[in-house]
Amino acid sequence: MATPASGRQLFLDGLRGLALIFMVLNHTGRWWIERPMGWPRYHLVYLTVTLAAPIFLFLVGFCLPLSYLTSTVARGERYASVAWKYIRRGARLVVAGWFLNLLVFPDEPLFGGGVLQTIGLSIIGLTLLLPVLRSSAGWWTLLAAALWIHASFALAHPFLRRWLPQYPVLADVLFYDFPLWPWFAVALLGLVLGWVWAEGQRRGDDDRRYFEVMSVAGVLCLGAFLGLELAVGTTPHFFSGRDLVLNHHWNPGGLTCLWILGIIFSLLPAVYYVMKVRRVQAPWLVVLGQNALMLYFVHQVVALTFLRQRFGVLFHSWWPYVLANALLIAALVVLAQVWPGFKRRAFALVRSSTQPGASAVERRGEAG
């Protein structure tokens, strides 16, 4: 599977598309399935929540160095101009997250931190850390920082559970849904690993060696998770009983982090091998990943606001639920395919309405 002339790595879009599917299944599992359907519902929701947002956050960090080095090394842009572009993008995502809260979750805190807010703030923080990666000492420092971010949250968790109820506004802004602390650790880990990979690409190194090592790390993480899980003993709620619940929202404990890292370190090489080495075309998956932000909004509006709240969609059997999800994902693929052309035409219409003189000149030029 060839990389396009822009340098975009399509297998990363494919993995982002998988993350979006996990996100859809997580949300429909929450909103469309009756609780009496039992533990399978719980396991679906829990497993997908450990996959969707962590993959998105990891890819935010992993993809940033590739874009940054392309801009600064290949195009000769200055760090300041590139950083300002990334910071603006991150700020827009934070605002988009607030807008999503207003649109889809009006009963929840407007400024509550969700996935989009954490992604946006992570982009801002990672951008400021990019210069640190110019030395191998910087890599190790940031890897240690990622480990410390999660470890410090785990250590502070008992205190935070006692302290936050006294400050409900602060709790909603800083520790709601997917808080920056500890989730920034996942994006930071992605940043370091993405930088190492992007630097190897610039040197002309063989990508396969890099992803082979990553896949071994994934197997080791999954093996450690399984061994510890069996040694410690399972909980009635799968392995979530040892996670770090704060402000009525889930955060991963140490064992679950091994599971998350094992899945990420296994899935990324697997998607690389299938899509880039074996050249298996998956355009429907790529288009989902390339339009993930728009689809992140749309699927929640459709699944919750319209189908669940407006029309009362609720399933009592697995087969109708599976069929409904297949239809929803197919509709999202179609929407993703037509969205770029629609967006271009909409922007052209706006420009022509705001700059009639310019559009007239363009028409005369085309006629000439």
**Residue 168 one-letter amino acid:** P
275-322 pLDDT per residue, tens: 999 999 899 999 999 999 999 999 999 999 999 999 999 998 899 999
Listing DSSP states for 309-324 in one string gives: IIT---BSSHHHHHHH
Give the chain's residues under pLDDT 50. Answer: 1-6, 236-240, 358-368
**pLDDT for 233:** 66
238 forms beta bridges with 235
| 246: DSSP letter | B
Tokens of 53: 């947002």
- What φ, ψ does residue 236 adopt, rounded to 5°? -60, -30
280 alpha-carbon distance from chain centroid:
23
Tokens of 355: 């700059």
| Cα–Cα–Cα angle for 247, 108, 297, rounded to 5 degrees | 110
1 alpha-carbon distance from chain centroid:
23
**pLDDT for 349:** 82
Give the Å distances, CA to CA, from 85 to 68, 192, 267, 296, 297: 11, 20, 30, 22, 23
139-161 pLDDT per residue, tens: 999 999 999 999 999 999 999 99
Rounded to an integer, what distance in angstroms lies between the CA atom of residue 252 and that of residue 153?
A: 10
H-only helix segments in 164-253: 168-174, 180-203, 207-232
Domain ranges in the chain? 10-367
Query: What pTM does this model have?
Result: 0.90
Rounded to an integer, what distance in angstroms lies between the CA atom of residue 323 and that of residue 133?
A: 46
Rounded to an integer, what distance in angstroms lies between the CA atom of residue 94 and that of residue 118?
A: 7
Give the Å distances, CA to CA, from 183 to 227, 244, 359, 362: 25, 12, 46, 48
| Cα–Cα–Cα angle for 343, 283, 330, rounded to 5 degrees | 75
Which of 40, 50, 187 shows the shortest CA–CA distance to 126?
A: 187
**pLDDT for 288:** 96
**pLDDT for 364:** 47
Cβ-based burial of 204 (10 A; exposed 0-12, middle 13-18, buried ≥19): exposed
SS3 33: strand
Cβ-based burial of 362 (10 A; exposed 0-12, middle 13-18, buried ≥19): middle
The residues, any chain, with a CB within 8 Å of residue 155's CB and separated by 6 or more, are none
